[in-house]
Structure 1
């Protein structure tokens, strides 16, 4: 009987708090889980939390702020103090707005503050952040409160949140306070606010991969975490949402040994994130058996046309791919004059070289077409060549493979790398040279080869290059080996491979249990393997050019891999000239 009364009372309180949320926000579609436990300790605090959630939804974008918090945590931010700072700034941003609109809330608000002071005094006094919160609450209740200079400076910054016109202004204040109070080294070690906001949904979902392979699937895991963070950020109470991300953060850069049961489901997950393969099971098995040997014997190859072309279902990765394509197209439109100029220059260089190869030369000979005007020489001169013969230039055909590094290290350059691939592809199409364009990255034990266009595809396929996006790691040696294997099957006499990379082969996140090659694929080990595959292709007659698309400090590594045949592109304006010189050199060789 007593339990029934308590359940009825709890339901009544939940409804009351929820009604406050809806009334204040004016949005009756908002969902929340009222904290009845808080209500049992402080009626005013529980009611005010509901009011604040409604007000925050009315004035600001709670999803944007919630995603900021998750991204900051992903980049090593500490969840508890970050959420606490967000709570203080949100209170300042909306508190006075609520009171002005609804004066009847003043009493509930002040009582909530007083209850918080009474209940958490001892806890708040133990840390600088706690003392900041205590001082803000006391000043709201009393009108003024004397504090040390450092706390006062932080308080003034919190008060700036009251003037925040939009959610990004509020985020700037929260981020600045966190970096000052909690982690002064955050920007130096992990990046600025711009870096935080640039974290993609794809990165976030990769973070908790163990959960993603559950039946709930990864998007639900991320949604659940974002929801918890979002609910927590408007409460004044201290809450630890979860320990999972902290534990994962500690092992983020170590090799992870996957459970065999997880690996059995990994193929499905790769399909979800990179699109269905275009190979049938027999072809896929044959290529893996033939190419995944020696130091790559525990790896697998996955060939796809991308998630946008062959998605399994609508998920976060599909939405991310669409957004990245839009960003790449925006970069193209922003630089379209430069791009068109590069395409035109490179096309002209290729066409001139091809014309030179196709030109024929007429020479005097002892056989061929007779020249009547030279007949008098017969019997009268030692130079008795009275025939004209046409010598045709080498008419050997060409085929080109373009291989683009699509690992996470290229994330900041996605738009420019996509443009580089597009420029090459358009120029080769104009010159009617068959070519294929693929990108590569490595996720778990799968090296994914994303084919944008095949050798004999129509020129329209070049637009697929704007679907280029980056993720995970890169096992360069295996990707080059796989691309080279198919290139060598072509009938054309002259074969060229252009590799756009940052010179940093890196694949250390996952190894199979009892792997035959447990050594991480990084450093000298990976560079040596990648260089070996490049030299192997050259020995088999393939001309290999490395186009460096990375940071200057990694140039030395690029030289070790590609030797003298590599190009460093500092600005895209010079792209066609540098790549064109190499291609024309190959086209004109032995002509």
Structure 2
């Protein structure tokens, strides 16, 4: 491993970057090839940085670099895990090019060996913490020692990747990576998202309509797709594991979006194009912002919409993308129609039984009311007398429910399941005639989008619009919960219930605008504390708030802090409607 003084490194950065670029161009024999050198990788390992450049040039020379990077982007669009897929791609590329380039340039073999030694020395513990990492470690060890033995699952993957030595064309590499991903990482991928043929059939219009900002490592650019493709292309030939500090630096850089005045002028029209026209008038919109966008959300705005499919400005790529997701959501409903119908019936019967119990009239003994002749003998003889009966009608106060669903990019892998579960709850509430509203929320720029799927008093057919649930961007949970609570407090019903589906990770990109106050990053402890405060405030106002957590186990503590006593952890999104049903049943039967 090469040690180099940081001050010297900064002075020589340009020289190092030029050396890496020249390697890419020399090997690829294409001096017009776009090359973005990773000079920071050079500081960790000179040989790994040089070998990455050699692989980048070799892959561009022997194969179709654009075809392969486009496959990766399409696979990620179809909800593949980016990091796991990238690890497999990096291994496949190395195996496909190393014999070809070594035959032409024998000295590359020594650079490759030293690069592998550095990576194993620096990143071994990080590598063996994941399945793709174990495969990468086994490949590097085998290349260095000739010992390819490993456990069965790892050995199968190693053999598949080694079969790519002297791969005939790019499609062979794509097919192998796809098979490895579907076998090692997500065995349900084809069932949920389709075969390789379906992945490759994704169009440029669909990709262009997707919000790649969730994946960007650097500050947002005008053309997210083009920038993301370039980012993928540069990363797919990396040898080592990324340095954690560098990863955090990139995340911090990406947490601030810089907007110029022209961007600001376009913001509202951009929101209309991507999320549909707002159903509020300009005056009502400003009134809502003045009332709700205070404190931690002072520089924010709310955007109320029924969605791009209900009120589009035009049929653009975003509209097409939303339409395709809605079709996927409805397809899941169609394929599980009988199970869905049964779940709705079960929840309906339980809620109806609880409502009947609340409306029962019971007869109790009393000191007044209707005289009971058979008790007259007690007069003057014993205590208590209780010679009368009266009818006591149990409290049958009205209920109103709001279901608020996180529609940020973190829910991308379960969009159809969330939509189906939301529909089950809504259909059951319709059957027992409990007014309810279903909304999704996400945050883009300084707008928190509140998408209305069905309003409190809409007819039952409106529940079908829940299948238009589509996820993107970030999530400012505190502001969304505040807005939902405000609507509930305006309802006449005595018992108000808010149910929030989230992943325990409130997180929002900052927007730095000319003249703005540059608010703090809405993430981590700050965001969790703010969201917890909004939940406590609503409970003090008399609203029952249930948090349903469907995120990663490591975020469980944050979710508990936010929702406290009324909190449910579901490992499978299919339990969402069951948990909500039990909670509503408990409240309906509560005295």
- Which residue does the alignment assign to 1:547? 548
Matching of residue 157 in structure 1 with residue 164 in structure 2: yes
TM-aligned CA deviation for residue 156 of structure 1: 6.8
Q: How many Å separate the matches in 1 of 2:457 and 2:506?
A: 30
Q: How does 1:394-405 map to 2 (within 5 A)?
A: 394-405=395-406
The Cα RMSD (Å) is 5.0
SS in 1 for 2:254: coil
Matching of residue 350 in structure 1 with residue 351 in structure 2: yes
Contact in 1 for aligned 2:343/2:424 (Cα 8 Å): yes
Contact in 2 for aligned 1:278/1:304 (Cα 8 Å): yes
1:392–1:589: structure 2 CA closer, same or farther, 3 Å change rule? same
TM-aligned CA deviation for residue 249 of structure 1: 8.0
- Which residue does the alignment assign to 1:324? 325
Q: How does 1:272-287 map to 2 (within 5 A)?
A: 272-287=273-288
Q: How many Å separate the matches in 2 of 1:471 and 1:510?
A: 17
Q: How many Å separate the matches in 2 of 1:121 and 1:375?
A: 110
Contact in 1 for aligned 2:406/2:475 (Cα 8 Å): yes
Residue deviations 1:235-277, cap 9 Å, x none? xxxxxxxxxxxxx989862312322331121111111111111
SS in 1 for 2:405: strand
5+ residue gaps in structure 1? 1-34, 39-55, 90-119, 129-148, 178-186, 213-217, 231-247
1:525–1:66: structure 2 CA closer, same or farther, 3 Å change rule? closer
Q: How many Å separate the matches in 2 of 1:268 and 1:558?
A: 35
1:589–1:270: structure 2 CA closer, same or farther, 3 Å change rule? same
5+ residue gaps in structure 2? 1-29, 34-62, 97-103, 113-141, 144-158, 234-248
TM-aligned CA deviation for residue 558 of structure 1: 0.5
Choose from 196, 204, 212 the match for 2:212: 204
Deviates more, 1:320-329 or 1:574-583: 574-583
SS in 2 for 1:528: helix
The TM-score with structure 1 as length reference comes to 0.64
- Which residue does the alignment assign to 1:68? 71
Choose from 168, 172, 177 the match for 2:175: 172
Q: How many Å separate the matches in 2 of 1:63 and 1:343?
A: 48
- Which residue does the alignment assign to 1:271? 272
The TM-score with structure 2 as length reference comes to 0.64
TM-aligned CA deviation for residue 454 of structure 1: 0.2
Deviates more, 1:320-329 or 1:153-162: 153-162
SS in 1 for 2:402: strand
TM-aligned CA deviation for residue 456 of structure 1: 0.5
Larger radius of gyration: 1
1:211–1:511: structure 2 CA closer, same or farther, 3 Å change rule? closer
Q: How many Å separate the matches in 2 of 1:557 and 1:274?
A: 29
Between the two proteins, the alignment pairs up a number of residues equal to: 451
Residue deviations 1:529-572, cap 9 Å, x none? 00000000000000000011111111111000001211111235
SS in 1 for 2:458: coil
- Which residue does the alignment assign to 2:304? 303
Contact in 2 for aligned 1:445/1:510 (Cα 8 Å): yes
Contact in 2 for aligned 1:400/1:495 (Cα 8 Å): yes
Contact in 1 for aligned 2:478/2:534 (Cα 8 Å): yes
Residue deviations 1:206-257, cap 9 Å, x none? 8699765xxxxx6xx8589989x99xxxxxxxxxxxxxxxxx9898623123
Q: How many Å separate the matches in 2 of 1:73 and 1:345?
A: 37
- Which residue does the alignment assign to 2:461? 460
Q: How many Å separate the matches in 2 of 1:571 and 1:335?
A: 16
1:353–1:381: structure 2 CA closer, same or farther, 3 Å change rule? same
